Amino acid sequence: MRAPYMTRLGLAAVLLAAAVAACSGGDDPPGADGTPDSGNPTPVDSGTPDAGDSGTPSTPDAGPDAGEPDAGVDAGTDAGTPDAGQPEGTVTIPNKLSELGLFTGTPATGDFQPVAGNVPYELTTPLFSDYSLKSRTLYVPAGKTAAYSASDVLDLPVGTIITKTFAFPADFREPDKNVRPLETRILVRQPGGWEAYPYVWNDALTEADKAVGGKVFKNFEFIDAEGVAKKFDYLVPQRNQCQKCHHVVDEQDNQQLLPIGVKARYLNRDHVYGGQTLNQLQHLADLGKLTGLPPAIQVPRAPDAFNVDEASLEIRARTYLDINCAHCHNPKAQPGITSRLFLDIKTTDEFSLGHCKRPGSAGSGVGGEFDIVPGDHSTSILWYRMDTEESGKMMPEIGRALRHDAGSQLIADWIDAMPPRTCK
């Protein structure tokens, strides 16, 4: 599996993925002193801004891994001080990413890295976003803690900020050279719930500006790991599009924004902090930022979906669907409620997983009649919609423009390995 963006951003340097509060600075609020978080800083090789960036904002209908905005902390010097009349704990959202106080340096100067207390992390299997390299950080305010959950998103306190930066090297055969970040998304836990904001990096890579209306990088180009040139429109989601993927439906039938990846099973892996390889969940607990963590043997772990040595084909395929599809296709999200197709890891009923199930509203020309035809991926709608790049037919509806070749093949292999059935 590809290394995270932070560890590959520069030939001579390391971006934010490296270090974080392995030191005592973990409780310092971002913006307090600008001290970089200790560890292995990952400065960015700024390279040259991608020629495909038109620089013209437009109204996108999706962005890679759309809306999984993750991170940022209250800006500037007030670090979360609410404005007059706002509820206690309200985080003020600035127009400039730098004003959040979560990072020091810039990609342009090769020293962009998280401050102490803004903790880098990785997922065992990340969500696919048009092959972008991603770096993630988690900031939990001083004096507050997250609560462990064995299956759901960690219970993160008000003031928490999750960040995710999306970047591309010019050539994936040399993934450490000419790495160009396009956007940083943040999720902020406000007193009234989660809020999402995208920030777009300028051409000089000196600042990322809040882009509530999103942006499209027209005709964005890179060379993939096989040496094939790719050109597509990279879409930064509008703020209001984030909820399309990041939501659950509450008891009153209202959609509530929610993070996706910060679950114990995806966080249960090692990361390098301050030169030491540590389990990410244990590191958070040691920093005093996570309570209720059970002994390591009791913590679930999702495998790397593309490592055949970590799990069976079925478990790896189900893991891929869980992280890429189940935030919508589960019993508590609107698409799952409507389609009755549940792809979360907890679902065991074959019909709910799509076996010989006719879709609720897939329309025509989507590869077949049934979500999954056991033993035949080529007539299974689930595989077809993952494999196609045709707008209006591909899944997810937002979040990608390109086919994930490895993901498509994994699901094809899984379906073909099922005992054949005739669906009626």
Q: Is residue 284 part of a domain?
A: no
Residues 190 and 336 in one domain: no
In a domain, 423, yes or no: no
Among 277, 298, 323, where does a domain finish? 277
Same domain, 366 and 230: no
Q: What is d(CA 85, CA 209) in angstroms, rounded to the nearest whole number?
A: 26
In a domain, 291, yes or no: no
Would 299 be classed as within a structural domain?
A: no
Question: How far apart (Å, rounded) are the C-alpha atoms in residues 378 and 409?
Answer: 11
396 with 324, same domain?
A: yes
3-state secondary structure of 248: strand
Task: Say if residue 271 is in the same domain as residue 310.
Answer: no
Cα(256)–Cα(321) distance, integer angstroms: 22
Q: 255 with 150, same domain?
A: yes
Q: How many CA atoms lie within 13 A of 105 on its CB side?
A: 22
Same domain as 254, residue 373: no
User: Quick one: 54 and 197 in the same domain?
Assistant: yes
In a structure prediction context, what are the per-residue pLDDT tens digits for the chain, which is 424 residues long?
444 544 444 433 333 333 333 333 344 444 444 444 434 333 334 333 333 333 333 333 333 333 333 333 333 334 444 455 788 889 999 999 999 999 999 999 999 999 999 999 999 999 999 999 999 999 999 999 999 999 999 999 999 999 999 999 999 999 989 999 999 999 999 999 999 999 999 999 999 999 999 899 999 999 999 999 999 999 998 767 555 555 665 666 676 778 988 999 999 999 999 999 999 999 999 999 999 999 999 999 999 999 999 999 999 999 999 999 887 776 776 666 677 888 889 999 999 899 999 987 655 567 688 999 999 999 999 999 999 998 888 887 777 899 999 999 999 999 999 999 999 9
- For β-strands 146-147 and 290-291, DSSP reports them as parallel
Which two three-digit tokens encode residue 134? 């991603």
Domain extent at residue 404 = 306-416
* Count of domains forming the chain: 2
Question: In sequence order, what are the beta bridge partners of 119?
Answer: 138
In a domain, 110, yes or no: yes
**228: in domain:** yes
104 and 201 share a domain? yes
Q: Is residue 301 part of a domain?
A: no
Asked if residue 107 and residue 36 are part of one domain, the reply reads yes
d(CA 132, CA 151): 27
Q: Is residue 298 part of a domain?
A: no
Cβ atoms of residues 179 and 5 within 8 Å: yes
Residue reference for tokens 């709608």 = 381
Sign of CA dihedral 22, 23, 27, 31: negative
**pTM, 2 dp:** 0.79
> Which pairs from 339-346 meet CB under 8 Å and 24+ separation?
341/371, 341/382, 345/265, 345/302, 345/318, 345/319, 346/151
Report which of 129, 362, 316, 160 is spatially closest to residue 237, judged by C-alpha positions: 129
Same structural domain for residues 98 and 231? yes
> Which among 337, 335, 338, 340 has a CA at the least distance from the CA of 353?
340
Which of the listed residues 234, 260, 277 is the one where a domain comes to its end?
Answer: 277
Is 320 found in the same domain as 238?
Answer: no
Long-range interactions of 89-94: CB distance < 8 A, separation 24+: 89/158, 89/159, 89/190, 89/191, 90/190, 90/191, 91/159, 91/161, 91/188, 91/190, 93/188, 93/195, 93/197, 93/210, 94/210
- CA–CA gap between residue 1 and residue 317 (Å, rounded): 15
Residue 135, beta-bridge partner list: 165
**328, 273: one domain:** no
